[in-house]
Structure 1
């Protein structure tokens, strides 16, 4: 039952992630926290592997599409995010040493605050004047912060990436979604390699990881196919409702931490 549930969660999450550019980890992580009963470090690792597989599939699928990655600024953001992903592993291991409950509480509180912030920005986006950052140093620094946040939360980047790309780089919805996946690809690859090289891979069941990765790949392919058929406003609506669901799940998980 756990294997089937993990597959279905990952398939649905990464399909939505492929459409909107959130990656899927922002759904997988809190849902598994709520229902899997697995340790927080195991959930973060499994979620990260799934998101990595999904992003690879999505980026391959997007080749030849109308929307393109901004290789200049996008690569600087991605490199910064990769550096942040590596550095954040040290922070995660330090917080983990304080106890599993402390990690869970910190992750859920940060998730709620960030998601509500992105929701507030989304609701007021039409009234907020966006920027058009061009400085290489600024791009890399913004990417670094994104990598730190996404690696610690184990979500790949999700809605945080999109809000940053909207505001700092004046990207439209679909361009931001594709560039978000590009950033996630770099940050999750760096985070995964860092975990392997440090020898800090948590205990997990191989069948669970395999079905999650398969679900992630299928979801990434399906999500990019659906995205091509949706308008930007349709993607925006999906993103809005998704933020509400993520906030509700994170609030539930935070309450469970103290139960």
Structure 2
């Protein structure tokens, strides 16, 4: 029964993720937490798989398509920094998972997500009023990529909206180009997280059979999301992001209240 709920959540989340650069995990993680059926490490594992395979499909589609042309040096910086940030974020998550109560860790994640989401709602509602800094520093790009990779892995959310907001605000990319770089960030960070789990954790303790439903659904969501993405302009992407963030904020507040009971 709950696998059906997981699958539906994954489809909706990855469809939005591929269409607006959300990544899906920022919806999947709090939605799975709200169901309260599995341990936090299992939820993080399932969310990471869904987001990774959605991002894999979306990245390959964009690289083969003609919609955006990646700047290869920038893409390389994003790849390296996201991999490093994803590794550190995963290490910090499992360190805390081993040494503090699961509800306390969930509270930390929920509080962090609430802060991020409030910022994102403000930004995407009024993003035209924010002046981009148009930073050109490769070092700053690396630092931001590292931080986004860390957040993506530690919170198991992909981090799409935060990626889009910071790439737009700091580097002056259009929303659509920021979506493309966001998906790349998610792909490298979540891929690093999954490899790290495979190498350091006993995966027999995870419900691997769930992946038979979740992974194809995530890819299907990526396909549908790509079709929607082609029909969106920057304003439409902004509306989708703002509305989604309101829902995510409500879920995270609910999770925070539940974890404190």
| Normalised-by-shorter TM-score class | over 0.9
Q: Is 2:125–2:239's contact at 8 Å kept on the other side of the alignment?
A: no
The SS at the match of 1:130 is coil
Residues 1:140 and 1:254: Cα distance change in structure 2 (over 3 Å): same
Deviation for aligned residue 1:202? 7.3
Q: Equivalent residue for 2:71? A: 70
**Which residue of 202, 206, 209 corresponds with 2:208?**
206
Q: Equivalent residue for 1:183? A: 185
* Structure 2 CA distance for aligned equivalents of residues 219 and 36 of structure 1: 23
Per-residue CA deviation, residues 61-81 of structure 1 (Å, 9 max, x unaligned), is 222232233322232123111
Deviation for aligned residue 1:133? 2.2
* Structure 1 CA distance for aligned equivalents of residues 67 and 155 of structure 2: 32
Q: TM-score, normalised by structure 2?
A: 0.95
Q: Is 1:2–1:36's contact at 8 Å kept on the other side of the alignment?
A: no
Q: Equivalent residue for 1:238? A: 240
Does residue 84 of structure 2 align to residue 83 of structure 1?
A: yes
Report the more deviating stretch, 13-22 or 170-179. Answer: 170-179
Q: Equivalent residue for 2:107? A: 105
Give unpaired runs (5+ residues) of structure 1.
Answer: none
Give unpaired runs (5+ residues) of structure 2.
Answer: none
* Structure 2 CA distance for aligned equivalents of residues 180 and 157 of structure 1: 8
Q: TM-score, normalised by structure 1?
A: 0.95
**Which residue of 244, 249, 252 corresponds with 1:250?**
252
What pairs up with 1:1-259 in 2 under 5 angstroms?
Answer: 1-62=1-62, 63-96=64-97, 97-199=99-201, 201=203, 203-259=205-261
Q: Is 1:70–1:179's contact at 8 Å kept on the other side of the alignment?
A: no
* Structure 2 CA distance for aligned equivalents of residues 159 and 202 of structure 1: 32
* Structure 2 CA distance for aligned equivalents of residues 36 and 205 of structure 1: 15
Alpha-carbon RMSD across the aligned residues, in angstroms, is 1.4
Deviation for aligned residue 1:47? 0.3
Deviation for aligned residue 1:18? 0.3
Per-residue CA deviation, residues 72-115 of structure 1 (Å, 9 max, x unaligned), is 22321231111011012221122112110111000000000011
Q: Is 1:78–1:184's contact at 8 Å kept on the other side of the alignment?
A: no
The SS at the match of 2:230 is helix
Residues 1:201 and 1:110: Cα distance change in structure 2 (over 3 Å): farther
Deviation for aligned residue 1:200? 5.2
* Structure 2 CA distance for aligned equivalents of residues 138 and 71 of structure 1: 16
* Structure 2 CA distance for aligned equivalents of residues 197 and 159 of structure 1: 29
Deviation for aligned residue 1:117? 1.2
